[in-house]
Amino acid sequence: MPIVKDFFIGLSNNSFLNKTAKEVGPMFGANKVVAGNTIKYLIDTIERLNNKGITVTVDCLGEFVVTEGEAIQAKDQILEVMYAIYNHSLAGHMSVKLSQLGSEFDIDLAYRNLREILLKANEFDNMHINIDTEKYDSLFDITQVLDRLKGEFKNVGTVIQAYLYKADALIDKYPELRLRMVKGAYKENEVIAFQTKEEIDENYIRLIKKRLLSAKNVTSIATHDDKIITQIKQFIKDNKIDKDRYEFQMLYGFRSDLAEQIAGEGNNFCIYVPYGDDWFSYFMRRLAERPQNLNLMFKELLKPDILKKVGTIAGIFAGVVATGSILYRVLKK
């Protein structure tokens, strides 16, 4: 349902709604997929997952960074989380976005901020730092910064989006880096990306297999699709791929039972844990991927205690979500 997906992707890019959501904190169903906005809550979440044999990668959420001060603040928050993970002896690393660090207005500032993060990561048991991919327009900046850093640091990696035609070339370019394999969550033009689910799934499976056979570092297989997971597990078995060369990965709050099952089978498993006040854009993108979550969000919005607590703000969100719900139900028929 591309119309519903486009609707929520559009909301994720709305600065007014993002600012408004930040004022009230994670709710409306988002608290099911965002690990709160305090260090204590985050650490408790990581400890709970670690106790189940699951590692984490933490994303300090942040959107619409337009000043140097905001970029430095984002960098400082990432460093704070890194210190907390290290200080509590937890199994986890960081996922960062260059746009948070200033790349959209000063690529050198973003580079300096990321380099400072990597230098500190070296002090924290060589903690891995993953550069998350964003819109296609940002891919050039990401690869340029990565190319500047990968010679100096061995604990840096990035993400390969399987819906991009360039994905093959990127896998060939970075065999020595730790890479996360995803399908891709943004709306991209047909000139640069596959458009149908069937094409994307086929390319995703093909790229994972290619990477597993050629990589010199860990491959993170990030999907909630149990059919794809089953197929890749069989491929790993057939090709006798060592378990230290791959891990499965899912988003926090999604298919927890399946995650625990895969980890319980002896596979390395990592949960992508979002954290912080800037939850709205992240949650809207998750709704774009899975509109079924609308019912959860709408029911929570209409609870009397929430309406009383945030008043007009809840009304705004209720209208937004109601519109999305109607679109989803109409187009589903």
Average model confidence (pLDDT) across the chain: 83
Average pLDDT in the 125-135 region?
93
Where does the pLDDT of residue 330 fall: very low under 50, low under 70, confident under 90, or very high at 90 and above?
A: very low
Where does the pLDDT of residue 22 fall: very low under 50, low under 70, confident under 90, or very high at 90 and above?
A: low
> What pLDDT score was predicted for residue 287?
67
Give the span between the Cα atoms of 77 and 72, in whole angstroms.
9
Could you give the C-alpha distances from 143 to 19, 107, 160, 203, 285, in angstroms and in order? 30, 12, 11, 21, 23
Sign of CA dihedral 33, 36, 37, 42: negative
- Of the residues 59, 141, 178, 180, only one is catalytic, namely 180
DSSP-derived pairing of the beta strands 246-251 and 269-275: parallel
- DSSP per position, 160-225: EETTBTTHHHHHHH-TTS-EEEE---S---TTTB--SHHHHHHHHHHHHHHHHHH-SS-EEEE---
User: Is position 286 annotated in a ligand binding site?
Assistant: yes
DSSP 8-state code for residue 86: H
What pTM, to 2 d.p., does this model score? 0.82
Amino acid at 281: S
- Whether 180 sits among the annotated catalytic residues: the reply is yes
3-class DSSP state of 125: coil
Could you give the C-alpha distances from 240 to 143, 204, 217, 232, in angstroms and in order? 31, 20, 16, 12
- Of the residues 132, 141, 201, 277, only one is catalytic, namely 132
User: Is position 231 annotated in a ligand binding site?
Assistant: no
User: Is position 197 annotated in a ligand binding site?
Assistant: yes
User: Is position 308 annotated in a ligand binding site?
Assistant: no
Q: Does domain 35-275 have CATH number 3.20.20.220?
A: yes
User: Is position 133 annotated in a ligand binding site?
Assistant: no
Beta carbons within 8 Å of 166's beta carbon, 6+ residues apart: 139, 192
* Residues 27 and 296 sit within 8 Å (Cβ to Cβ): no
Q: What is the pLDDT of residues 180-202, one digit of tens each?
A: 999 987 777 889 888 888 999 99
Question: Is residue 276 pLDDT above 50, yes or no?
Answer: yes
Domain residues of the chain, as ranges? Answer: 1-30+289-332, 35-275
- Whether 132 sits among the annotated catalytic residues: the reply is yes
